[in-house]
Structure 1
Amino acid sequence: MRQIEAMAVDRPGAGFRPHHYESGPLGPDEVDVQVTHAGVCHSDIGMIDDEYGISRYPVVAGHESVGVVVGLGSAVDSSQLRLGDRVGVGPIAGSCMRCVWCRSGRTQLCASRDDTVMRGDRGGFASHVRASSWQHVYRIPDEITSAEAAPLLCAGSTVFAPLLRHGVRPVDRVAVVGIGGLGHLAIQFMSRWGCHVTAVSGSAGKEEAALALGASAFLNSRDEGALGWVRGTFDLILSTVSADLPWDQYVDALRPGGTLSIVGLPAAAISVSPMSLLPQAKVVAGGVPGSIEDNRAMLDFAARHGVRPVVEIHSAGDADRALRSVREGTARYRAVIEM
């Protein structure tokens, strides 16, 4: 048991204040991590500002935590984790490891999964964060700094998992909609994977950045008829934006059997005409962060192929500024707090 020093928020739109709580005894499968770096994700803002209607204040958010192992439960496999290891705890801090989803390797679908940010008052914006299942604690490769690793745990996992989930091949043509916190990583992963990547944005000013990240082509979605130019082009379209899009036009841009994977969170219902999907067996799929093995593969791939988030690093004393940059959408591209 230890005293945890956390950064809490008391109401929607507010800034951080100091908050303390007792961690409680360490369970047999649990791991305590002393946090050195914490990424700020839009899902954190969703909990802090009660966008989902489930927040109970005070809220301690944070689900992209990197730090050092300082506590191990009695059942933790010592060949996998040791005291002093540099590790990450992401959006899923545990799962039951007994259900059909966990036993088949799809831990991200476990009905009892421990969603770090959804705990409400025990997230990663704190001196320590606890993982309820040691298998969900990831060693960070030496090639990746702790500030870079933090956003990979959520944003990186979210955009890398569709490559595995949908069987994307190096010869495929893919499109990434949005060049932001998720999209700038998706472009890097997909281009290093070997794909021809088209970056899609409504901002013409992002073309240079998209090409520098590894995109092969750029499409300004605000140009008249732009989506019609790419009809039947892509094997996979990854939508990373929190916006309501002309979904039928994006489905039309898929090749037969292609997949529209949605990892951003639109505000309204997603509506697609049956005739856009059925005749050519196209797929519209939701996206969640990857499984345990997906995440290990993602970190290894990022280390070997130079995939790195572009981060703005803030001190703990400047954490409110990091919060504002994500709230206002001005972070380029991920905000990280040095704890």
Structure 2
Amino acid sequence: MTDINAYAAKEAGAKLEPYSFDPGAIGAHEVDVKVSACGVCHSDLSMINNDWGFGQYPMVPGHEAIGEITEIGSAVKNLKVGQTVGVGWNAESCMHCAPCLSGTQQRCQTGVPTIISKGGFADRVRVQDIWAVPIPDGMDAKSAGPLFCGGITVFSPFVDYDLKPTDRVAVIGIGGLGHLALQFARAWGCEVTAFTTSMDKEDELKELGAHHVANSRDADSMKKLKGKFDFILSTVNVSLDWPSYLATLRSNGRLITVGAVDKPMGIPAFSLISGGKSVGGSDTGSPDRVAKMLEFCTRHDIKPMVEYFPMEKVNEALEHLESGKARYRVVLTN
């Protein structure tokens, strides 16, 4: 077995540097994937900096990897060598806990994130077979990586919360996640509004799928939207004036966050009681859900907007993302 050559943070907050390790013998239900491209996500930055408190070092980030299977374990039946697959946030699930048995393997009680297992900023990544999801025919594999985290993160709430084509949907934060959410909502058949603080992007947001663009910093504009939306999806990881957004919901409307806001959201109870509104969260998705999302993307020509960096310039790519200059996702290529 040859070593995996990767880029790793040796400690929290460190720059990534070349790092090689021996993954050992391949397990019965594991596959090795030769990485051709890997998306760069804000979650990578959070994990590198140990913002969430469960980082393990040396850490090889990367959880939006695309590549070709080069080896499979003895018990792998659903995949074959030479197949092009993608790998997202999850690398391993136990397959016997309640979430796994109920089809929500991404919530496995002992699951291992790809970053903890050693991620995709490397020439090869090893994962449990169920988490290597085949790329559909007709999909551009090079740009598909962001769908395996950003894409599934905004797609899952549409399924879990039973969005209807007659619904009025708003998206807060049009970045790496939000620009995909607009495309999904438009293809779903919904009336779509983009909340933004950058009205200079109005034309671009409409090209991505928004029917309307609203300036969330304009109090008068927010008041005019009172009671308009059935569903609001927030992709931001900062605190906002949540009561003003709740006021734009219709009766029984939902505000769902997929952004990891690091402070209490401060939701007044009366904002929920009046109109039977609710606030919730959503994570990623099961392998089956990921596969269905990829089919949906192929059917409706949904694609991430991507900027490419060579793998050896990983630190430049991370700095570009952290600066807020990325439009809208960054992908490393081998």
- Contact 1:26 1:72 (8 Å CA) reproduced: yes
- Contact 1:244 1:268 (8 Å CA) reproduced: yes
Residue equivalent to 2:30 = 30
Whichever residue aligns with residue 288 of structure 1, its letter is D
Counterpart mapping for 1:78-157 below 5 A: 80-119=78-117, 122-132=118-128, 134-157=129-152
Cα distance in structure 2, aligned partners of 1:282 and 1:296 = 31
Residue equivalent to 2:20 = 20
Deviation at 1:108, TM superposition (A): 1.8
Cα distance in structure 2, aligned partners of 1:324 and 1:180 = 16
Q: CA RMSD in A?
A: 1.4
Q: CA deviation digits over 1:16-56, x for unaligned, max 9?
A: 31100001111111111111101000010111122223334
Deviation at 1:86, TM superposition (A): 0.2
Deviation at 1:94, TM superposition (A): 2.1
Residue equivalent to 1:287 = 282
Q: CA deviation digits over 1:133-162, x for unaligned, max 9?
A: x11211011222222210000000000001
Q: CA deviation digits over 1:277-327, x for unaligned, max 9?
A: 123221211110112221111000001100000000111232222111112
Runs (4+) off by over 6 Å: none
Q: Secondary structure at the match of 1:32?
A: strand
Q: Secondary structure at the match of 2:319?
A: helix
Counterpart mapping for 1:35-50 below 5 A: 35-50=35-50
Task: Structure 1: state its 5+ residue gaps.
Answer: none
Cα distance in structure 1, aligned partners of 2:107 and 2:226 = 33
2:262 to 242, 257, 267: 267
Cα distance in structure 2, aligned partners of 1:240 and 1:153 = 16
Task: Structure 2: state its 5+ residue gaps.
Answer: none
Deviation at 1:11, TM superposition (A): 4.2
Q: Does 1:194 align with 2:189?
A: yes
2:205 to 210, 220, 238: 210
Cα distance in structure 2, aligned partners of 1:264 and 1:26 = 35
Q: CA deviation digits over 1:66-115, x for unaligned, max 9?
A: 001111111111xx211000000100122111122111111122111221
Residue equivalent to 2:69 = 69
Deviation at 1:336, TM superposition (A): 0.3
Residue equivalent to 1:9 = 9
Counterpart mapping for 1:216-255 below 5 A: 216-255=211-250
Whichever residue aligns with residue 244 of structure 2, its letter is Q
- Contact 1:47 1:118 (8 Å CA) reproduced: no
Cα distance in structure 1, aligned partners of 2:116 and 2:264 = 23
Q: Secondary structure at the match of 1:293?
A: helix
Cα distance in structure 2, aligned partners of 1:192 and 1:114 = 33
Deviation at 1:12, TM superposition (A): 4.7
**How many percent identity over aligned positions?**
43
- Contact 2:56 2:116 (8 Å CA) reproduced: no
Q: CA deviation digits over 1:181-208, x for unaligned, max 9?
A: 0000000011011110000011111211
Q: Secondary structure at the match of 2:309?
A: strand
In structure 2, the CA distance between the partners of 1:12 and 1:331, relative to structure 1 (3 Å rule), is farther
Deviation at 1:235, TM superposition (A): 1.0
Q: CA deviation digits over 1:208-235, x for unaligned, max 9?
A: 1110101000000111232221111111
Cα distance in structure 2, aligned partners of 1:97 and 1:309 = 31
Whichever residue aligns with residue 96 of structure 2, its letter is R
Moved more, 107-116 or 295-304: 107-116
- Contact 1:147 1:313 (8 Å CA) reproduced: no
Residue equivalent to 1:338 = 333
Moved more, 147-156 or 251-260: 251-260
Moved more, 14-23 or 29-38: 14-23
TM-score, normalised to structure 1, is 0.95
* Alignment: residue pair count: 334
In structure 2, the CA distance between the partners of 1:54 and 1:103, relative to structure 1 (3 Å rule), is closer
Q: Secondary structure at the match of 1:108?
A: helix
Cα distance in structure 2, aligned partners of 1:2 and 1:329 = 37
In structure 2, the CA distance between the partners of 1:57 and 1:106, relative to structure 1 (3 Å rule), is closer
Whichever residue aligns with residue 102 of structure 2, its letter is S
